[in-house]
Amino acid sequence: MVYFHFIQGSPQMPQQFSDFAVSQEITDINREFLSLLASAPEGDVEQVLGLDGGAVTALRRLDENQLDMIARAPLLLAEFSPFPGFCEIREIVTRTYPDTQPVWQQQLRGFADRLLACIWQTAKHNKLTMSLYTGIASDRCRSLSDMSFCHLSRYSDLAVHTLRVRLADHPGF
């Protein structure tokens, strides 16, 4: 439930009910992820992070307003599957992209690292919110929030290989 305080005619939310702030952060993350997808290497790559080439091409044709509308989805458009730290290392398939795109690969790695740290930090402070926005089960959010920074750092190199478009393999998507 959201409570508003009306100060000088404009609604303001108290700090403990920062749904708007969380929503804005999700939008910012989604916007960066969409930009990353749209700037993916073209050519012989059939899928980009679980999204087929045709969908990536269509994404590139969208204007800024359309991308912003998609970014405002009330959940993260990116996910880690399997989530680093909750799987056996042998379960992770290493992705390779053409060597012609080292800048994009660096951007992908940076995004995956930042997203992993953001999810971990949010889980430490609000497990329910993190479970809602990411789809991670609440018991896994508890496990994630209990990880130390050193433990989480061990999974940083794996995160880039498990990052994908959320629900990309869902039959209705």
Domain annotation covers residue 140:
yes
Domain annotation covers residue 172:
no
- In single-letter form, the type of residue at position 125 comes to H
Domain annotation covers residue 121:
yes
- pTM, 2 dp: 0.78
How many domains are there within the chain? 1
Domain annotation covers residue 57:
yes
Which domain, by its residues, includes 34?
5-165
Domain annotation covers residue 171:
no
- The 10s digit of each residue's pLDDT in 99-129 is 557 888 899 999 999 998 888 888 888 888 8
CA distance 130 to 121: 9
CA distance 17 to 30: 22
Domain annotation covers residue 69:
yes
- The 10s digit of each residue's pLDDT in 132-150 is 788 787 777 788 888 888 8
Q: Which helix (H) or strand (E) holds 101?
A: none
Domain annotation covers residue 31:
yes
